[in-house]
């Protein structure tokens, strides 16, 4: 089992959700996040004054998938989230050592 | 209009009281205009709405999230404190009879509304209504200064500053111009408060923050406005309320009030578009914070001129407010590095001064205005306007500096660095504006 953690441009979230659904991945957790990468934030202008915004608004999604689904899911996210501009985000894949469905107590891939 | 009316009333009130005592309520009923009274009661509600919640929301959206409640708190507390101070002594100092000192300050005869009952008239409206209408101006003026010191001023300091400022700056300035003082005698034109409200607040804001110091990290590490939508809502409430502010200052439901409403709205619309257009050219994008800041600049600028100028004057004043006030925001914060945090001086002070000076120009009938006083030339009036602005600016600057020093050595001006980092919502009021769980 793999946990796919992806940092996205907020406006790509719907596209990514649809892309994951179309490759058979159902279920994800999304949270509002803020961060910066190589571009180091951006500038915003209010009343003529420039403000350095170090932490740019992002969405973080977490998707747990079986080992077989990993490649398809990663590709779906990468394609759907891409705009080609700086700040498109990153995808990280981690191993899951254990998973439990709280309602039934099922564990392993049955819990996904 | 307003000046001559007020001067007449101040002189007439003692006589009126004698008349009332002598012949009872019938005389009062004859003199009272129910139309004017109805409009001023309505206008009073509109002007209070400008502060609560208009200005409070306008300012609250511009600060960072951890200080949103403190700014709302400042506006509400200043409104309450100003109301109480107005009843106790400030109304009397502004509009009472100062006897031998009447050129400079009113007396204490109207403290606690002494001698004023339901039948007492001010002009052709009840004095209670006049008292309330003017109170809403005494509320919004110190509330405007809240925009200078957010995110770092101690709450007890805000309260003490406001109280002393109302007595030492607002009461005399208001008396000089609207209460029959020396500037009224000189013929200064300030229809609804370009000097009394916007010059006093703007100049005092600037002087206060020079004593108080900038926010931690200013100018490089300051966070952008946390909720521009809240700022837009507040600005739009201010716009609506401003009809009461300017058209109400005719103190009558008449043609001057109608024209004041026209020019108020036109100036606001023009200044908004000009501000946004300049941003569009300078930065590639017109912003909503920009367009509503233009609105407020246009409203502040037309305020002193609103009962004197026509639509042409309103358009020109609106254009100049949009251009000059925007330029001044950069001058004060970026060039001079003075942290007048929410641009009280650049928007209100400068706007009010522009309108006060141009009232002398566009009041002239050939430029579409309602005309200057008989025998007064544009040049003469302009000089009088300059004297009015300069005298009140000087009073505001000196008195504010003294008050700030008094507050600093008594209850203290500034919160600790730790309290500033935590944000005033938690450190001063024990509350959070947003709970994200």
Partner B contacted by A102 (CB < 8 A):
no
- pLDDT number for residue B202: 98
Partner A contacted by B282 (CB < 8 A):
yes
| Cis, bond preceding B219 (omega within 30 deg of 0) | yes
Q: How many CA atoms lie within 13 A of B245 on its CB side?
A: 36
The pLDDT tens digits along chain B (437 residues) read 455 555 555 445 444 444 443 333 444 445 899 999 999 999 999 999 999 999 999 999 999 999 999 999 999 999 999 999 999 999 999 999 999 999 999 999 999 999 999 999 999 999 999 999 999 999 999 999 999 999 999 999 999 999 999 999 999 999 999 999 999 999 999 999 999 999 999 999 999 999 999 999 998 889 999 999 999 999 999 999 999 999 999 999 999 999 999 999 999 999 999 999 999 999 999 999 999 999 999 999 999 999 999 999 999 999 999 999 999 999 999 999 999 999 999 999 999 999 999 999 999 999 999 999 999 999 999 999 999 999 999 999 999 999 999 999 999 999 999 999 999 999 999 999 998 66
Q: How many CA atoms lie within 13 A of B369 on its CB side?
A: 24
Which residues lie closer than 8 Å to B231 by C-beta, 6 or more apart? B57, B58, B59, B60, B61, B62, B225, B289, B292
Do the Cβ atoms of A48 and B223 come within 8 Å? no
Task: Enter the tokens of residue B196.
Answer: 């009394």
Give me the helices (H) in B179-324, please.
182-186, 200-212, 228-248, 255-283, 288-302, 311-320
For the residues of B374-437, what is the DSSP string, one character each?
TT--HHHHHHHHHHHHHHHHHHHHHHHHHHHHHHHHTT-SB--HHHHHH-HHHHHHS--S----
Report phi then psi at B51, rounded to 5.
Answer: -80, -50
Supply the DSSP symbol for B105: -
- pLDDT number for residue B23: 39
- Distance, in Å, from the CA atom of B308 to the CA atom of B310, rounded to the nearest integer, reads 7
Do the Cβ atoms of B289 and A46 come within 8 Å? yes
Instruction: Give the ipTM.
Output: 0.79
Nearest partner of B273 among B333, B330, B315, B230, judged by Cα:
B315
Task: Enter the tokens of residue B32.
Answer: 């009272």
Degrees, nearest 5: CA angle B58-B59-B63: 125
CATH code, domain with B95: 1.10.3430.10
Q: Is the pLDDT of residue A48 over 90?
A: no
Burial A54-79 (b: 16+ CB within 10 A, else e): eebebbbbebbbeeebbebbbebbbe
CA distance A69 to chain B (A): 32
- Distance, in Å, from the CA atom of B56 to the CA atom of A90, rounded to the nearest integer, reads 41
The size of chain A, in residues, is 112
Contacts of B350 in chain A (CB under 8 A): none
Do the Cβ atoms of B334 and A44 come within 8 Å? no
**Domain count of the fold of chain A:** 1
Report phi then psi at B172, rounded to 5.
Answer: -65, -45
- Distance, in Å, from the CA atom of A62 to the CA atom of A64, rounded to the nearest integer, reads 7
- pLDDT number for residue A92: 98
Do the Cβ atoms of A49 and B220 come within 8 Å? no
| Cis, bond preceding B53 (omega within 30 deg of 0) | yes
Do the Cβ atoms of B326 and A52 come within 8 Å? no
Do the Cβ atoms of B220 and A44 come within 8 Å? no
- Mutate which: B64, B220, B223, vs A, most A CBs within 10 A: B223
- pLDDT number for residue B423: 96
**Domain count of the fold of chain B:** 1
CATH code, domain with A60: 3.30.70.120
Partner B contacted by A31 (CB < 8 A):
no
What residues pair up with B216 in beta bridges, in sequence order? Answer: none
- pLDDT number for residue A37: 86
Do the Cβ atoms of B326 and A49 come within 8 Å? no
- pLDDT number for residue B236: 98
Note whether residue B437 is domain-resident.
no
Partner A contacted by B287 (CB < 8 A):
yes
Long-range contacts, A94-100 (Cβ 8 Å, 24+): A94/A2, A94/A3, A94/A5, A95/A1, A95/A2, A95/A3, A96/A1, A96/A2, A96/A3, A96/A64, A99/A1, A99/A64
pLDDT band at A39 (very low <50, low <70, confident <90, very high): confident
Note whether residue B419 is domain-resident.
yes
Note whether residue B167 is domain-resident.
yes
How far apart, in Å, are the Cα atoms of A108 and each of A1, A68, A99, A100?
8, 14, 5, 7
Partner A contacted by B343 (CB < 8 A):
yes
pTM, rounded to two decimals: 0.90
Which residues lie closer than 8 Å to B398 by C-beta, 6 or more apart? none
Long-range contacts, B101-107 (Cβ 8 Å, 24+): B102/B180, B102/B181, B103/B181, B103/B182, B103/B185, B104/B172, B104/B175, B104/B176, B104/B181, B104/B182, B105/B171, B105/B172, B105/B175, B105/B181, B106/B171, B106/B175, B106/B179
What is the extent of the structural domain holding A62? 2-111
SS3 B261: helix
Contacts of B224 in chain A (CB under 8 A): 44, 46, 51, 53
Mean pLDDT for the stretch of residues A53-70 = 94
* Contact indicator for A65, A1 with CB cutoff of 8 Å: yes
SS3 B126: strand
Do the Cβ atoms of B334 and A49 come within 8 Å? yes
- pLDDT number for residue A40: 80
Partner B contacted by A86 (CB < 8 A):
no
Partner A contacted by B279 (CB < 8 A):
yes
Report phi then psi at A56, rounded to 5.
Answer: -90, 140
Note whether residue B431 is domain-resident.
no
- Distance, in Å, from the CA atom of B235 to the CA atom of B59, rounded to the nearest integer, reads 9
Beta-carbon count within 10 A of B234 CB: 24
What is the extent of the structural domain holding B345? 2-111+118-423
Do the Cβ atoms of B290 and A47 come within 8 Å? yes
Do the Cβ atoms of A48 and B326 come within 8 Å? yes
- pLDDT number for residue B5: 52
Partner A contacted by B283 (CB < 8 A):
yes
Contacts of A47 in chain B (CB under 8 A): 289-290, 293, 326, 329, 343
């Amino acid at each position: 089992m793999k946990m796919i953690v992806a940092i996205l441009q907020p406006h790509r979230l719907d596209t990514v959700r649809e892309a994951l659904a179309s490759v058979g991945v159902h279920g994800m957790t999304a949270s509002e996040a803020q961060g910066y990468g190589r571009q180091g934030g951006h500038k915003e202008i209010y009343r003529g004054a420039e403000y350095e915004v170090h932490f740019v608004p992002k969405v973080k999604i977490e998707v747990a998938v079986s080992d077989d689904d990993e490649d398809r899911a990663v590709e779906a996210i990468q394609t759907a989230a891409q705009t080609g501009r700086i700040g498109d985000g990153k995808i990280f894949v981690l191993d899951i050592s254990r998973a439990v469905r709280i309602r039934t107590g099922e564990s392993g891939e049955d819990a996904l | 209009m307003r000046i001559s009316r007020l001067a007449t009333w101040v002189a007439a009130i003692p006589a009126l009281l004698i008349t009332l005592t002598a012949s009872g309520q019938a005389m009062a009923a004859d003199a009272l205009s129910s139309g004017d009274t109805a409009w001023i009661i309505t206008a009073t509600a509109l002007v209070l709405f400008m502060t609560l919640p208009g200005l409070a929301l306008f300012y609250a959206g511009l600060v960072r999230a951890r200080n949103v409640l403190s700014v709302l708190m400042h506006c509400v507390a200043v409104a309450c404190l100003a109301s109480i101070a107005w009843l106790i002594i400030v109304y009397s100092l502004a509009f009472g009879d100062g006897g031998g000192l009447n050129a400079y300050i009113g007396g204490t005869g109207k403290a606690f509304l002494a001698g004023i009952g339901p039948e007492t008239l001010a002009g052709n409206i009840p004095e209670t209504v006049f008292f309330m209408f003017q109170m809403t101006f005494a509320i919004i003026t110190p509330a405007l200064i809240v925009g200078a010191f957010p995110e770092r001023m101690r709450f007890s300091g805000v309260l003490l500053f406001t109280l002393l400022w109302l007595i030492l700056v607002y009461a005399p300035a208001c008396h000089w111009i609207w209460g029959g003082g020396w500037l009224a005698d000189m013929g200064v034109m300030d229809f609804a408060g370009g000097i009394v409200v916007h010059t006093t607040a703007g100049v005092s804001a600037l002087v206060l923050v020079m004593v108080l110091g900038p926010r931690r990290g200013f100018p490089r590490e300051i966070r952008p406005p946390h909720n521009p939508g809240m700022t837009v809502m507040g600005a739009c409430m201010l716009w609506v309320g401003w009809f009461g502010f300017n058209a109400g200052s005719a103190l009558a439901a008449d043609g001057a009030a109608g024209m004041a409403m026209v020019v108020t709205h036109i100036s606001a619309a023009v200044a908004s578009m000009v501000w946004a257009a300049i941003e569009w050219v300078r930065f590639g994008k017109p912003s909503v914070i920009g367009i509503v800041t233009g609105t407020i600049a246009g409203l502040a600028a037309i305020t002193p001129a609103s009962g004197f100028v026509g639509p042409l004057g309103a358009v020109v004043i609106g254009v100049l407010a949009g251009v000059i006030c925007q330029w001044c925001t950069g001058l004060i914060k970026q060039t001079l590095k003075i942290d007048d945090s929410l641009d009280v001086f650049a928007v209100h002070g400068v706007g009010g001064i522009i309108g006060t000076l141009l009232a002398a120009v566009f009041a002239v009938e050939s430029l579409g205005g309602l005309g200057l006083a008989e025998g007064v030339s544009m040049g003469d009036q302009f000089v009088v306007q300059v004297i009015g602005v300069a005298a009140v600016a000087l009073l505001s600057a000196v008195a504010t500096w003294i008050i700030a020093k008094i507050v600093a050595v008594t209850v203290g001006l500034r919160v600790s660095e730790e309290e500033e980092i935590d944000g005033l919502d938690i450190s001063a009021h024990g509350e959070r504006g947003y709970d994200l769980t």
